[in-house]
Structure 1
């Protein structure tokens, strides 16, 4: 299926994982253009105005961070949670880049590294951070961010992770067995159980966008599917948090 919103192929190399954004082995990035497309399709199904966006399988926080850089004016807060403490630690570093001067601070650290270690790649990354910074400074604000450890199948842990927030948009790239996997969960039932847990703790008018590798997002019965599409190797489905 063709792109409806991210119709122009742009150079997103400044957002390459490990360049400006922090990365680590075992934490895959996500195609930036597809992330933008999913976000905009999900937004079209939800309420108007800035929205709190939550990724309950956040991994490194790459997906949330890139969305906030690209679509910050449409986002009031971002929340990242994951069961893996290493993932949460990495996501916290990436979400700090969303502070008003976070990217300039990152650029300064990269320039210092370039001078200290004589690595031109650090200088190139510093320049990339400076190019990304205007998109954040345009908002003249720091995005509200929250990062927490939580099991995506446990509504109690998810409520604690969210605090007083009730997200209006959930977006997640679920494990697909290449670099990431579900931990100790039957993969055939995992998505349906995840959707049920997430739907319990978000705004009743929220939309939940799920991406996975494969031909189709399999969620079983009982979850109202608003849209489905496939681009490249990934299938995407958008669900309503409530049945009404």
Structure 2
């Protein structure tokens, strides 16, 4: 069946990693255009009501913060978790930019640094923070969110059922999941773990730096996407063996 999803032509430069959103060595950003597209594709398989989203491998929070900024009007809540304390320290600051207060503080700091160090480029970044704050107000104001340590084997929050998971699986030797065969693909184990703690209606959109995202045996993807060196698969939680 052909997919259908809403699209908008957007300029994503305001959300470039290192502009207003923070980055750090070893914690790269995620392609904003791809995050935007994957969210729209996943949301097209769900009701139109505001959605609760979870990124269980959030890293620096760049993906989650980008989606939260672009789609504030379509989200009710955003959860970002990881097991890396260093990454979470960046993620907390990035997701704070989903609030007017967080953006105002970021703008203040950038203007102060521009004056102290005489760097006009920092004024441009401060203007970007102000522009993002204006867009946030237009799209519904502060987005409720939580950032914390956690893994994919625990329920996200029993009081806030998750509708959509969007995450980028770390690559190289950084990732292993319980139940994954030694030397095998970690994504099928990740999907089984997520499906076990999510409502059957939830949609899981998982990306990885690979030619094709592996799925558990017998599971058919709602959609597959490939952009550059990343591949993504969208599946329904209820279609994944638990």
| TM-score, normalising length: structure 2 | 0.88
What CA distance in whole angstroms lies between the structure 1 residues aligned with 2:123 and 2:230? 34
- Closer/same/farther in 2, CA of residues 131 and 118 from structure 1, 3 Å limit: same
Residue equivalent to 2:104 = 104
**Mapped pair 1:175 → 2:144:** no
Residue equivalent to 2:212 = 216
What CA distance in whole angstroms lies between the structure 1 residues aligned with 2:183 and 2:116? 47
Residue equivalent to 2:29 = 29
Does the 8 A contact of 1:6 with 1:36 survive in 2?
A: no
Displacement of 1:148 after TM fit? 1.3
After TM superposition, the structure 1 stretch with the greater mean CA deviation from structure 2, 54-63 or 108-117, is 108-117
Displacement of 1:4 after TM fit? 6.5
Which structure has the highest helix share of the two? 1
Displacement of 1:216 after TM fit? 0.8
After TM superposition, the structure 1 stretch with the greater mean CA deviation from structure 2, 72-81 or 220-229, is 220-229
What CA distance in whole angstroms lies between the structure 1 residues aligned with 2:215 and 2:184? 9
Following TM superposition, the consecutive aligned residue runs of length 4 or more in structure 1 with deviations greater than 3 angstroms are: 3-8, 183-187
Residue equivalent to 1:162 = 157
Deviation string for 1:43-80 (max 9, x for gaps)? 00112211011000000000010111111100001100
What CA distance in whole angstroms lies between the structure 1 residues aligned with 2:39 and 2:196? 21
- 5+ residue gaps, structure 1, are none
Residue equivalent to 1:89 = 89
Q: Secondary structure, in 3 states, of the residue corresponding to 2:222?
A: strand
What CA distance in whole angstroms lies between the structure 1 residues aligned with 2:117 and 2:228? 39
Residue equivalent to 2:47 = 47
- 5+ residue gaps, structure 2, are none
What CA distance in whole angstroms lies between the structure 2 residues aligned with 1:140 and 1:5? 19
Correspondence for 1:233 among 210, 229, 235: 229
Does the 8 A contact of 1:100 with 1:140 survive in 2?
A: no
Q: Secondary structure, in 3 states, of the residue corresponding to 1:24?
A: coil
Residue equivalent to 1:204 = 200
What CA distance in whole angstroms lies between the structure 1 residues aligned with 2:200 and 2:50? 16
After TM superposition, the structure 1 stretch with the greater mean CA deviation from structure 2, 118-127 or 81-90, is 118-127
Q: Secondary structure, in 3 states, of the residue corresponding to 2:223?
A: strand
Displacement of 1:41 after TM fit? 0.3
Displacement of 1:6 after TM fit? 4.3
**RMSD of aligned Cα (Å):** 2.2
